[in-house]
Amino acid sequence: MTGRHGDMMRPSRPAATVPDLDLARRVAVDAAEAAGALVHAPAQRGTGMRVKDATGDVVSDLDLAAEQLIISRIRAGIALCMGTLPVLGVVHDPVARQTWSAVRRGGAYGPGGRLARPACRAAPYGPVLAWTQGHGVDRGDATARALRLVLESTARRVLQLWAPLLSWVMLARGDIDGIIGYRAEAVDLPAGALIATEAGIAVCGFDGQPFNEAIGLRAQDRSFVAGHPGNIGRLTGLVATATRIAPQVANLTAAADW
């Protein structure tokens, strides 16, 4: 085609196909629940474990089998890409046999239906918080040590779960008051954070600014604070305190190592 000045005009590209997110959610939920059924019975008898990478993180044979099952299902008929922004999240608990899911701007759902924002409850004896850090964080990391010190001295209880994704579900349900993540693993963010935010939870960076939800972030960009909007200021305050004392913690660590 040519324009009025004789220059060549590129043919217009076909409009991008909008994915059926409701269908994608159903397929993802079915895949997650099938994987949960796969691991549930053998998990009660024990299973083989192996080291996953140089950080010493471990993975079981059932983890690998479940991963292959999910991949094989998602590859059949599914094409979902919305840039780097997660638009669908599913978390399945194979022990409780319960599933939670969310679609961006479509709400979060659990076994009882759509999740409403949990109440901002008072915590006169301190909040109940979850803590997660990436496997690549060194044991002597001063910021990580300072964060744990502040959280353990302030919170009523600090949970560190084997499956951090369940912490997001607990927060979305109102079972806990917040999550602090330091250089969290990339796999522990997209699905859980989407479920929490669709349930009305606020997620921000350590600086208090909205958290960058894009996938593929560097480890240093995967630190976050999550909680009810009414409590998020207090949680970021704890992080700010930990950041201030990190140099002193580093000095104490160096003296102890000597």
Lookup: tokens for 208: 């208090």
Is the residue at 12 inside a domain? no
- Rounded to two decimals, what is the model's pTM? 0.73
Measured between alpha carbons, how far is 253 from 240 in angstroms, rounded to an integer?
Answer: 20
Do 167 and 107 share a structural domain? no
Count of H helices and E strands in the chain? 6, 11
Do 34 and 75 sit in the same domain of this protein? yes
Domain of 227 in residue numbering reads as 128-257
Domain assignment present for 40: yes
Could you tell me the CA-to-CA distances from 20 to 24, 55, 76, 77 in Å, in that order?
Answer: 6, 38, 15, 11
Asked whether residue 93 falls in the same domain as residue 138, the answer is no
Would you say residue 185 lies in a domain?
yes
33 and 105 share one domain: yes
pLDDT in tens, the chain (258 residues): 323 333 333 334 444 455 677 777 777 777 766 666 666 655 444 555 454 555 555 456 666 665 665 555 554 373 344 778 888 888 888 778 888 998 889 999 999 999 999 999 888 889 999 999 998 998 889 999 999 999 999 999 999 988 889 999 999 999 999 999 999 998 888 889 999 999 999 999 999 999 998 888 899 999 999 999 999 999 999 999 999 999 988 887 665 554
- Residue at a domain's end among 57, 87, 114: 114
* Number of domains the chain is built from: 2
DSSP code, position 9: -
In a shared domain, residues 107 and 149: no
| CATH code (residue 159) | 3.40.190.80
Q: What is the C-alpha separation between 167 and 138, in angstroms, rounded? A: 22
Spatial distance between the Cα atoms of 233 and 140, rounded to a whole number of angstroms: 28
Of the CA atoms within 13 Å of residue 57, those in its CB half-sphere come to 14
Same domain? For 183 and 251 the reply is yes
Distances (CA, A) of 98 to 50, 64, 95, 117: 27, 21, 8, 19
